[in-house]
Amino acid sequence: MNPTTDLTASVPAPSGPPTTASSATAPGRSAGATAPSEGAAAPAVSARGLVKTYGRGEAAVRALAGVDVDFAAGAFTAIMGPSGSGKSTLMHCLAGLDTADAGRIELGGQQITGLNDTALTRLRRDRIGFVFQAFNLVPTLTAEQNIVLPLDLAGTPVDRAWLAEVVGILGLGDRLGHKPHELSGGQQQRVAVARALLTRPDVVFGDEPTGNLDSTTGAEVLSLLRRSAREMGQTVIMVTHDPVAASYADRVVLLEDGRLAGQISDPTPENVLAALAKLGVA
């Protein structure tokens, strides 16, 4: 569970272009430490020596070739890299969706490598939130049922006040009874974000959450994610290839050929683009 649960009273509207200055401060929230060993609070997620290989023999592909990385709690971090760099694989392993061949992963202070499928499933259910690029929602359930799905799976009663809060923040009040095919792409993604936030997980993982959206709607979703990190202290880790999306984050981690290749502390679309270009050349 997230260490800080204070909420802001006001509900500001989603803002436009990203600002580098943080908004209202709340106690216990850190603004993105840089090096793995720094930072006042323990990292929300950390990985040591992650290795993951796909395929066999000649067709073997080393997606992760020894990754060491920490992600600060309460921060919005982006993972970037050229295609084939292993960023999606890294996220999948960190989120307990896939198992690494070697290495250690700690999430919320608990070692998750070596857990069996049932334990991993419960981990995902109770302590992790997901926002995927597409196909986030179960088509036969309404928006509200989709939002509370992880709690339903756990059999935990829903905190109605918190639900109302989250729904309010995401502006979904009048959409709760609709099925996914009755919602626009942006609305579907917002439902997914609401679902991810509702369980107050240790980490929210996003896999190209704005990949299918137009720029305006994408900006909406990204600022919501940033607000959840800044105002609610929610740890958010997002995989993206889009420099503009990455600029919403507090920190960008760069991957290349299955290894950490650098990081950017105060990302802007320009410096992110420059960093990526350098990667591509090298």
What residues line the site for another protein (CB under 8 A)?
Answer: 92, 97-98, 117-118, 121-122, 124-126, 130, 132, 134-141, 149-150, 152-155, 180-181, 195, 212
Which of 135/164 has CB closer to another protein?
135
Q: Which of 245, 196, 195, 192 is nearest to 218 (CA)?
A: 245
What residues contact 215, with CB distance under 8 A and at least 6 apart?
244
Which of 11/154 has CB closer to another protein?
154
Q: Which of 83, 103, 84, 85 is nearest to 93 (CA)?
A: 103
CB of 122 to another protein, least distance (A): 7
**What is the length of the chain?**
282
CB of 181 to another protein, least distance (A): 7
CB of 182 to another protein, least distance (A): 11
CB of 212 to another protein, least distance (A): 7
Which of 104/125 has CB closer to another protein?
125
Q: What is the distance between the alpha carbons of residues 255 and 248, in angstroms, rounded to a whole number?
A: 18
Which of 14/185 has CB closer to another protein?
185
Which of 30/99 has CB closer to another protein?
99
Which of 92/230 has CB closer to another protein?
92
Give me 6's structure tokens: 């204070």
CB of 192 to another protein, least distance (A): 10
Q: Would you list the DSSP string of 70-124?
A: EE-TT-EEEEE-STTSSHHHHHHHHTTSS--SEEEEEETTEE-TT--HHHHHHHH
Count of C-beta atoms within a 10 Å radius of residue 126: 17
CB of 120 to another protein, least distance (A): 9
CA dihedral sign, ordered 222, 131, 156, 74: negative
Which of 59/282 has CB closer to another protein?
59
CB of 158 to another protein, least distance (A): 13
Which of 18/150 has CB closer to another protein?
150
Alpha helices of the chain — where are they, by DSSP H?
Answer: 87-94, 117-127, 143-147, 149-154, 160-170, 185-198, 215-232, 243-246, 269-281
What residues contact 255, with CB distance under 8 A and at least 6 apart?
67, 79, 80, 81, 85, 86, 87, 90, 261
| Half-sphere exposure (Cβ direction) of 95: Cα atoms closer than 13 Å | 26
